[in-house]
Amino acid sequence: MCGIAGILTKTEIKNSLETLMLRMQTALQHRGPDDQGIYISPDREVAFAHTRLSILDLSAAGHQPMSTPDGRYWITFNGEIYNFLELRQTLEAKGEKFYSQTDTEVILKLFQQQGAECVNNLRGMFAFAIWDNQEQSCFIARDALGIKPLYYWQSGSTLIFASELRAILATKLPSIALSPEGLYGYLVSGTVPEPHTLIAGIHCLEAGHWLRWQAGNLRKQQYWQINFTSEAISLTEAKEKVRNALIDSIEHHFISDVPVGIFLSGGIDSTSIVALARQTQKGSLRTYSIAFEEDEWNEGELAQKIAKEFETDHTEYKVTASLGKELLPKFLASIDQPSIDGFNTFCVSQIAHKDGTKVVLSGLGGDELFGGYKTFQQVPKMVRLGQQLQKIQPISTGIGKGLASWGKSPRIKRLGDFLQQKPTTTAAYRSFRGIFSQREAWKITQHYFKDSWDQMPSPFPIWEEEVFQNTSISTSLPSLEDEVSRLELSCYMRNQLLRDSDVMSMACGLELRVPLVDRTLLEAIASIPSKIRLAPGKQLLIQAVTELPSWVLNRPKRGFFFPFQEWIEKDWNDYFPNHELSADISLILWYRNWSLAIFHHWLNEIAGL
């Protein structure tokens, strides 16, 4: 896991590439404290920077940017390729010679043979750029599920890219102005939806896409997308398929030249990873968990019991309101873009780092793949209700307008949004998952763009579907539940959970791996009908992992939450003032207050606006 950055240009900034790359490299130093490097091409049209967290081949042979022996191809790479040993064997059989034990060199040699098609053979998490000195072109790619981030800014013939937004801003080349689309998306969903960012002109490369830059021209193409196509399969066959795919993924995710730990929350997903890791790994296993003083939120005892059951070397970190407050400044300094999540990953990453661990596995992704959220039941109900209400138009639209304008609770306001739209899965999901209603988000956005918009378009912003373009379902999926699964994978998980996990683990010099967010795993189970794969309570996952103790299964699903509401109202209230934006926009709920407070901090400190 590393930090990458680059500049491609045909302009006069060629003369200051050294200074610009040092700025970007410094901004990414926390992502790779073990080594760093810069490459500038002879014609000064391309410059790459790299900061390295050494996981595979800890020697100097893993130094980046890395080149082929003839100097034609250069790569800067962030991530891990879990099938690199199999790919290497195939390449060696064709006569390729290797000079390191890294997955980086495998990508380089694979691209040399296959070009852009190489991404379809890479199993793992990645963001990389490869420069071809002969063709004077650059290939930039991001992994299929969006585990690793990649941001870019284009102006004329110049393209700048980096692992984090802050590195692009560090060049001081882009003019810094808020993006209305990015801000609106953030307020509606609690995170900025790709391809937008909060800075106008800077974009996030979408998951499963690549870019090609040549002679100042930029081309973007999608190479992979989520596809659920049901096939006839029995429950017994489904259980076997899931178990085999899980074991295969966990075995691949343990590939490392340094010890690998596991985040253990006490839930089914992380417990499943510990249980199967105990089946596949020899020797000791390190696990890490967070506990609280508040009994309502504390699952520390359960995590300890699980660790004892599977004989792991367990470390618990008790986070109190006062300790959390002490950690807040460092957490705030680590934010690349604001969201309503991330503090939990930041805290547990701290303890893993202090324990000397450099790689950890997380159970993230289980709810999205196996139907663990309430959205899998509630969103289809909303869609069916909306379809019935369509029969009494325009009455239902009038009701929706009334609820959106005068509804007492945030959820009622968001329901009003839904009733004014076509009853699609995307609209229902956005309403159910939302933070602020669309009208509220518009008002807050307007607060920061007073000179741009005088009034809200009716019924909603004309560019709203563009903001959420990657969440819409272009083809009919086998079931509404499959559509929800796709939305959870491509919205909440990708834009919030994965992004925050990357930034906050990297802030602690830690590589976070997600074996349940694996392209090979997803493709293996995607054909299982939703009535089996998404059965309530994650029954398929439970039945596939037979090692799960009954006392883990028989407790109600709670999710993993911090006692933020209590902390913000009492110990943390100086960090979270009640922002006065509009009398009809309630900030009583912690996540609304948090979203605005974190945004204002980022606005003042990170973006300098």
Catalytic residues: 2
Sheet of 66-67, strands arranged across: 66-67, 73-81, 124-132, 137-142, 209-214, 217-222
Structure tokens at 39: 């490459």
E strands in 366-422: none
**What proportions of the chain, in percent to the nearest 5, are helix, strand and coil?**
45, 15, 40
Please name the residue that has the structure tokens 């590589």.
511
Question: Rounded to the nearest 5°, which phi and psi values hold at 477?
Answer: -90, 165
Structure tokens at 355: 């324990």
Element (H, E) at 204: strand 202-204
Contact 178, 196 (CB under 8 A): no
Alpha carbon 561 to its chain's center: 18
- Other C-beta atoms closer than 10 Å to the C-beta of 431 total 24
Partner residues linked to 39 by β-bridges: 48
Please name the residue that has the structure tokens 């596995």.
361
Contact 91, 106 (CB under 8 A): yes
Residue 141 CA to residue 115 CA, distance in Å, equals 12
DSSP state, residue 355: T
End-to-end CA distance of the chain: 30
Closest by CA to 575, choosing from 605, 542, 537, is 605
Contact 318, 575 (CB under 8 A): no
Query: How would you classify the pairing of strands 209-214 and 217-222?
Result: antiparallel
| 273 class by beta-carbon count within 10 Å (0-12 exposed, 13-18 middle, 19+ buried) | buried
- Other C-beta atoms closer than 10 Å to the C-beta of 251 total 16
- Other C-beta atoms closer than 10 Å to the C-beta of 92 total 12
Residue 285 CA to residue 264 CA, distance in Å, equals 11
Structure tokens at 161: 């890219």
Contacts of range 490-494, beta carbons closer than 8 Å, 24 or more positions apart:
490/146, 490/207, 490/226, 491/189, 491/193, 491/429, 491/433, 492/189, 492/368, 492/433, 493/364, 493/365, 493/368, 493/517, 494/145, 494/146, 494/194, 494/207
Residue 126 CA to residue 511 CA, distance in Å, equals 12
DSSP state, residue 589: S
79: left (phi over 0), alpha (psi -120 to 50) or beta: left
Respond yes or no on whether the N-terminal peptide bond of residue 549 is cis (omega within 30° of 0). Answer: no
Partner residues linked to 353 by β-bridges: none
